[in-house]
Amino acid sequence: MTSREEKYLELKRAHAAGRMDRRSFLRRAGALGIVPLVIPAHMRPAFANAEELVVVNWGGPAEAAYMNAFGEPFTEETGIPVFIDGTGPSVGRIRAMVEANAVVWDVCDSGVAGAINLGPGGYLEPIDYSIVSAERCRPEFVWEHGIGNYLFCNVLTYNTEAFEEAPTTWADMWDVEKFPGGRTMRRNVLGGVMESALQAAGVAKEDVYDTLGTADGRALAFEKLEELKPHTLYWSSASESQQLYRTGEVTIGNIWHTRSRGLRNDSNGQFTWTWNQGQLTAGAWLVPRGNPAGAEAAMRFIAVAQEPENQVLLLEVMGNGPINPEAAALVPEELRADDPGQPENYDLMLADSEAFYSEYYDEVQERYLELIS
């Protein structure tokens, strides 16, 4: 538990014991960067026997955005107060909490890796599909122990002032003569790293995972990655990926579309991206086993977060694409070009394969880190 979480729990105990009035509690919680939404207990439904529901994401603007898009609608519907924790639900932290029987989170904004690595080990509650709707999510992001919460992608992002013509494929990124300058890719294979390498080698999008499922296919991907290594800087954080473009260290690369969007908006269009051959993935709602508010309350939150109107709110603020197909028609015209879920964008991309990464992630990630070190 972080010091911020400990201080917040102290405030909660003081408020519950009557040593602190509601106004002081809210003011001091706000000073910690915490946004609790408090509703009288008599307004809560029968299943809500916990004091609050804690949702953890990756912080920054996402804290207020999640409260606005998901937290407030959930509390209005159920009466359960929501606390957004922005300290980041890493796979390691979720695992450690469950093993120590010290879970403080109810719903985690994680990803494919969390669902496939933690679910089979018994660290997560199974998604209750009698409460959560599988139909309100793209089918490729529905799992036993997690469900997609928004779409994002790794896309070919470039400096428009660096080239006479725009690059449109991963093969262009590998063409260092026609498109000179530094390259960038993520330090984790979960980001379209191997998929982009195979497409640069001429493998068709629809054949990528069949090819990666063979030893020869994985060898080809690593051969292409090694070919580009002398020209490539590898990013670990999203902010780092943006900074590499701003400083001119790279002219073209593979980064998250939300960060490409930020670069474009901040530069009056100097930086932009193409959806073509993008690697489509999703954030994922996970519920740690033994979550304090109970599994049912967590599932109710996920169900509220599936509402198409709530997902469009998140797109407007954060650029995360709605994962509920019903939301596509609600996206304002001016945001369609930024929404990976729009058919004209979605159909250009390749979706992550849970089957491939559940079997090969450890192997290919270890080999990739050895290659780029």
Query: What are residue 223's phi and psi, to 5 degrees?
Result: -65, -45
Q: Are 37 and 71 contacting, i.e. CB atoms less than 8 angstroms apart?
A: yes
Amino acid 358: pLDDT: 85
Residues near 305 by beta carbon (within 8 Å), at least 6 away in sequence: 69, 70, 74, 149, 285, 311
For residue 271, what are the domain limits?
152-281+343-372
Whether residue 221 sits in one domain with residue 85:
no
| Domain at 263, CATH number | 3.40.190.10
Instruction: Per residue of the chain (373 residues), give pLDDT as tens.
Output: 556 656 666 665 565 555 665 545 554 665 555 555 544 444 444 444 557 999 999 888 899 999 999 999 999 999 999 999 999 999 999 999 999 999 999 999 998 889 988 999 999 999 999 999 999 999 999 999 999 999 999 999 999 999 999 999 999 999 999 999 999 999 999 999 999 999 999 999 999 999 999 999 999 999 999 999 999 999 998 899 999 999 999 999 999 999 999 999 999 999 999 999 999 999 999 999 999 999 999 999 999 999 999 999 999 999 999 999 999 999 999 999 999 999 999 999 999 998 899 899 999 999 999 999 9
Amino acid 98: pLDDT: 97
Amino acid 206: pLDDT: 97
Whether residue 265 sits in one domain with residue 164:
yes
Specify the number of domains making up the chain: 2
HSE on the CB side for 265, CA within 13 Å?
A: 11
Amino acid 34: pLDDT: 57
Whether residue 166 sits in one domain with residue 47:
no
Amino acid 128: pLDDT: 99
Whether residue 260 sits in one domain with residue 124:
no
Whether residue 290 sits in one domain with residue 274:
no
Whether residue 239 sits in one domain with residue 180:
yes
Whether residue 56 sits in one domain with residue 135:
yes
Whether residue 288 sits in one domain with residue 360:
no
Amino acid 5: pLDDT: 57
Amino acid 116: pLDDT: 85
Amino acid 42: pLDDT: 47
Whether residue 246 sits in one domain with residue 348:
yes
Amino acid 238: pLDDT: 87
Amino acid 336: pLDDT: 95
Whether residue 156 sits in one domain with residue 49:
no
Whether residue 245 sits in one domain with residue 187:
yes
Whether residue 173 sits in one domain with residue 276:
yes
Amino acid 117: pLDDT: 86
Amino acid 39: pLDDT: 43
Amino acid 30: pLDDT: 53
